[in-house]
Amino acid sequence: MHRKYLSLLTLPLIATGVAYADNEHRVSSYAEAAEVEISPAPRDRRLIRLPELEFSMRIDATCAGETQAQSISISIADSVAAHDVSAQEVGPTDKVMLETTFKVPGRQIAPIAIQGFCVSGDDSDTKARTLLIPAAVAANISLRCTSENSQSVRYDRLPLQIQLICVPADDPMDDQQPNAD
């Protein structure tokens, strides 16, 4: 008899879960890697302190049901920006788009551990080299949706990349002009 009740109770829970999944707020986001130029350093360098980072971001958001997008907030480290998107002329369930540039002071981000990249005296490549650091930091994104009777928030997390660019030191001989005799 217990099995009969258990199966009857399980069926409505599964159906409720499916119905909820079709009626939820949606956030999709994209960001370009922040680029940082660094100079060659001694081989024993282990950490790089980052300067201010700048991320170009695009966020697409849709509120479920009869709710409308009110705001999109972004936080990276200790920096936060809130964007009022309620003025965009969209109806319920229409997509809201936000394109923005987000700057984060370097002091808010922990040093990046690298080894063997952009080493002084390394003559294997005289041109700029790059190293992509995936998921170095993350952006926390929140979408606030409102209606006459309710407010709700959808959270999303976007891993951000940092592109390190090794810029070889200029050769002092390149700066000298030939003597005109």
Q: What is the pLDDT of residues 122-181, one digit of tens each?
A: 665 545 589 999 998 999 999 999 988 889 999 999 999 999 999 887 644 444 444 433
* C-alpha distances in Å from residue 75, one per residue of 78, 106, 158: 7, 15, 10
Q: CA nearest 143: which of 79, 101, 98?
A: 98
165 contacts 34 by C-beta, under 8 angstroms: no
In a domain, 125, yes or no: yes
pLDDT confidence band for 65 (50 / 70 / 90): confident
CA distance 86 to 88: 5
In a domain, 1, yes or no: no
Domain count within the chain: 1
What is the chain's alpha carbon radius of gyration, rounded to the nearest angstrom?
25
In a domain, 94, yes or no: yes
In a domain, 137, yes or no: yes
In a domain, 11, yes or no: no
Q: Provide the phi-psi class of 48: left if phi over 0, else alpha when psi is between -120 and 50, else beta.
A: beta
Domain containing 72 equals 24-169
In a domain, 3, yes or no: no
Q: In the prediction, which pLDDT does 93 show?
A: 57
The amino acid occupying position 29 is S
In a domain, 163, yes or no: yes
CA distance 69 to 95: 9
Give this prediction's pTM. Answer: 0.73
In a domain, 7, yes or no: no
